[in-house]
């Protein structure tokens, strides 16, 4: 078992105590009979970008190097094939290849969460079943169906079918700004009764809603911020971490900030937050992942190549971003070993 604060092995007595606490929490919140939540997932996880070559193909060496650097920097978990990975532009084979490269490179050193989203429930079920069966995948991330704007009942039924098809625990992704539909708290509470749904990535942008989620769902249901800039606020409300865009470029710093908050070292957490807030904000000066891929290109970690409809930044925005990147000290020379 892993220590939620640092993903280190726990002693047997502590493990038993944690399990007993989870069982009590389950009963207290009226979810008797549910499977106990997996508490090993917490901290900072990177929603990985997908590096491309100039010809538009996947840059596999750059992806492997990115994964290695993330792990060496102490990141807590990795998410390939989320929105930040430009997944809507990937073929089915490319989607699986990116997941496999990530798991092969990670080699069991940290949890891997595979993105598997579709606004067609049958397709989402098939993708979830396939992703959760891949060697080395520990969790699946599934976002709210986009464009077709289901009702709350439709959202519930969609995610229930996804969870029932998954061989691994599922994290829901609530991001109404991209999907057009919000997972309301009563719906999330119903979904928390589904044994295989263990967490939510909350990017609703509504701090009141996030507070309600943290305050009314079972204590063993894991709440992650989906927005770097409110990571500390979400942890303060009872959240357990962040699924981060910024950590593509600053994995050590985002992990240190998150772990500091989770262990009550708020002065340290706020100091790191204040330094890197301008970068967190600049990452959304244009649509994600355009700015963060530009940052990684400036750092020499990959080529700045996108797949349409994503395209290079406007020159004036790139100049603003480069100024921020310089001010936070990221433009330091380094060597990249391609293997």
* Ordered DSSP codes for 130-183: HHHTSTT--EEEEEPP-SS---HHHHHHHHHHHHHH-SS-EEEEE-HHHHS---
Write down the mean pLDDT value for the chain.
Answer: 88
Phi, psi of 81 (to 5 degrees): 65, 40
pLDDT, mean of residues 88-113: 98
Write out pLDDT tens, residues 108-129.
999 999 999 999 999 999 999 9
Q: pLDDT-derived band of residue 140, with 50, 70 and 90 as boundaries?
A: very high
Q: Is the pLDDT of residue 215 over 90?
A: yes
Res. 298: pLDDT tops 50: yes
Cross-strand pairs, 242: 44, 225
What is the arithmetic mean of pLDDT over 281-292? 97
pLDDT of residue 176: 83
Angle at Cα 171 formed by Cα 170 and Cα 173, nearest 5°? 135
Residue 40 has pLDDT above 80, yes or no: no
The residues near 334 (Cβ < 8 Å, ≥ 6 apart) are 299, 300
Would you state the pLDDT for residue 180?
A: 87
Instruction: Provide CB contacts within 8 A for 217, sequence distance 6+.
Output: 29, 185, 188, 189, 192, 223
- For residues 236-241, give the mean pLDDT: 97
What pLDDT does residue 272 have?
98
Predicted confidence at residue 179, as pLDDT, reads: 87
Count of beta carbons in the 10 Å neighbourhood of residue 319? 10
Catalytic residue numbers?
173, 201
In the three-class reduction of DSSP (H, G, I as helix; E, B as strand; rest coil), residue 225 is classed as: strand
Is the domain covering 12-265 a CATH 3.40.50.720 domain? no
Higher pLDDT, 172 or 8: 172
Contact assessment for residue 168 and residue 137, using Cβ atoms and an 8 Å cutoff: yes
Quick one: what percent of the chain has pLDDT higher than 70?
Answer: 86
Average pLDDT in the 160-183 region? 93
The pLDDT of residue 1 is 31
Return the pLDDT at 178: 85
d(C-alpha 336, C-alpha 302), whole Å:
9
Taking 50 as the threshold, does the pLDDT of residue 30 lie above it? Answer: no
Q: Which residues pair with 139 in a beta bridge?
A: 113
Strand (E) or helix (H) holding 294? helix 290-298
pLDDT at 333: 46
Residue 4 has pLDDT above 60, yes or no: no
Question: Does the pTM of the predicted model rise above 0.85?
Answer: yes
Residue 26 has pLDDT above 70, yes or no: no
Q: Which of 15-29, 79-93, 98-112, 197-211 has the lowest mean pLDDT?
A: 15-29
Q: Which among 148, 151, 243 is positioned nearest to 190, based on CA atoms?
A: 151
């Amino acid at each position: 078992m892993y220590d939620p604060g640092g993903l280190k092995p726990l002693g047997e007595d502590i493990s038993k105590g944690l399990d007993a606490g989870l069982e009590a929490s389950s009963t207290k919140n009226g979810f008797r009979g549910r499977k106990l939540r997996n508490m090993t997932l917490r901290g900072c996880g990177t929603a990985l970008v997908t590096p491309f070559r100039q010809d538009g193909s996947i840059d596999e060496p750059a992806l492997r190097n990115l994964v290695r650097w993330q792990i060496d920097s102490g990141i807590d978990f990795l998410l390939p094939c989320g929105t930040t990975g430009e997944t809507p532009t990937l073929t089915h084979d490319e989607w699986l290849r990116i997941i496999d490269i990530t798991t092969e490179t990670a080699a069991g050193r940290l949890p891997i969460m595979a993105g598997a989203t579709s606004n067609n429930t049958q397709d989402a079920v098939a993708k979830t079943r396939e992703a959760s069966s891949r060697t080395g995948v520990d969790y699946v991330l599934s976002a709210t169906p986009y464009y077709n704007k289901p009702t709350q009942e439709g959202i519930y039924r969609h995610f229930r079918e996804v969870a029932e098809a998954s061989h691994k625990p599922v994290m829901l992704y609530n991001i109404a700004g991209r999907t057009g539909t919000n997972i309301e708290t009563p719906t999330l509470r119903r979904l928390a009764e589904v044994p295989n749904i263990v967490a939510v990535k909350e990017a609703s942008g509504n701090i009141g809603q996030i507070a309600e989620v943290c305050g009314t769902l079972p204590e063993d249901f894991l709440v992650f911020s989906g927005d770097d800039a409110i990571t500390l606020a979400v942890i303060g409300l009872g959240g357990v971490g962040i699924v981060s865009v910024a950590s593509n470029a600053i994995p050590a710093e985002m992990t240190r900030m998150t772990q500091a908050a989770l262990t009550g070292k708020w002065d340290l957490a706020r100091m790191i937050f204040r330094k890197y807030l301008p970068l967190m904000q600049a990452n959304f000066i244009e649509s994600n992942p355009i700015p963060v891929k530009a940052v990684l290109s400036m750092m020499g970690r990959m080529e700045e190549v996108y797949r349409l409809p994503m395209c290079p930044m406007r020159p004036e925005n790139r100049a603003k971003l480069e100024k921020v990147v310089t001010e936070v000290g990221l433009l330091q020379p380094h060597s990249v070993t391609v293997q």
